[in-house]
Amino acid sequence: MRWLIRWRRSYTGQHPAPVESAAESTEQVVLEEEKVKDEIEIQIDLLKDPDWVVRREAAITLGEMGDERCVEPLGHALRDGDWQVRDVAIDGLGQIGSPAVELLIKLLRDWDVRKYAIAALGKIRDERVLDPLMLQLRNDEFKDDAINALVELGQPALPRLVKALKDKDENVRKQAVKALGLIKHVEAIDPLITMLADSDYYTRLMAAAGLEAIGDDRGPRSDQAVDERPGPGSADAGGADSCQVEETACSHVAGCWKRPASPPGLFGLSGLSRLFGWT
């Protein structure tokens, strides 16, 4: 009977499907890993190519691979002499994400690459990036880069920024207000309304600009809060008067744009957010 079955199989061309052994399967996985490793090493070598186009393409490929072994080479690429290579290295580190955070935080100590490390941190949704970025708000040279990174992070940065509004350093408060206005999230409305009474003129001005940029339905509440100012004889009179802030801001905008001052009301400050480039 067995010979008949074998004869039928040979006659019809039917053969049992080969069974892949566990050893063969493991060997296949190892080969795939070696292939990826070889490709990473090839791209790392291409980062040293004299042609910036080749280096850029290598950096893009390493970022797309998303392997943590690509982190260090891309970190070195932040020092590349061509800005286009540095830009894609920043994006690549952002794509890799959390595995790149530790290296990028270390690179913040290096003045030459700090700007690019800050930009890369702004692309990574990881709790560890927030404190280092907030610290850079105290640095006059890199504060704008830190603001851009925090704005790119968006909502996860809001609690730290709101907390910074109470900082003793006037410049830190000012940068936090600016970042909140640029993020344009409704959770920033109440904190920004509070900053309309800040002791610093430009901080108050930026808070008004941020509220205008958000333009939320809750806006009329702040408008009402501005209009209903305490009278000269009230106990609350004195200190920063929010309506006075509004009037000063209107005059400032009118002077810059050579237009008549806007009518009363916070969200009537047409041109204020444009003054700061927030619209």
For residues 246 and 262, the answer to whether their CB atoms sit within 8 Å is no
- In this structure, which amino acid lies at residue 136? Q
pLDDT in the model for residue 36: 59
Biggest CA–CA distance in the chain, Å, is 115
The span from the CA of 71 to the CA of 62, in Å, is 8
pLDDT in the model for residue 229: 40
pLDDT in the model for residue 107: 97
Question: Hunting for tokens 């993020």 — which residue is that?
Answer: 183
pLDDT in the model for residue 232: 43
- In this structure, which amino acid lies at residue 225? A
- Domains for the chain: give ranges and CATH numbers: 38-124 (1.25.10.10), 185-229+242-279 (no CATH)
pLDDT in the model for residue 38: 84
3-state secondary structure of 173: helix
Which residue, 97, 75, 94, is CA-closest to 86? 75
Query: What is the CA angle 130-115-128, rounded to 5?
Result: 20
Counting every residue written for the chain, the total comes to 279
Which ranges in the chain belong to alpha helices (H)?
A: 2-12, 22-46, 52-65, 71-77, 83-96, 101-107, 111-121, 130-135, 143-153, 158-164, 170-183, 189-194, 201-214, 219-227, 242-257, 272-275
The one-digit pLDDT tens for each residue of the chain (279 residues) are 444 334 344 444 555 545 456 655 665 654 565 555 689 999 999 999 999 999 999 999 999 999 999 999 999 999 999 999 999 999 999 999 999 999 999 999 999 999 999 999 999 999 999 999 999 999 999 999 999 999 999 999 999 999 999 999 999 999 999 999 999 999 999 999 999 999 899 899 999 999 988 885 444 343 443 443 434 444 344 444 444 444 444 444 334 333 333 433 444 444 555 555 555
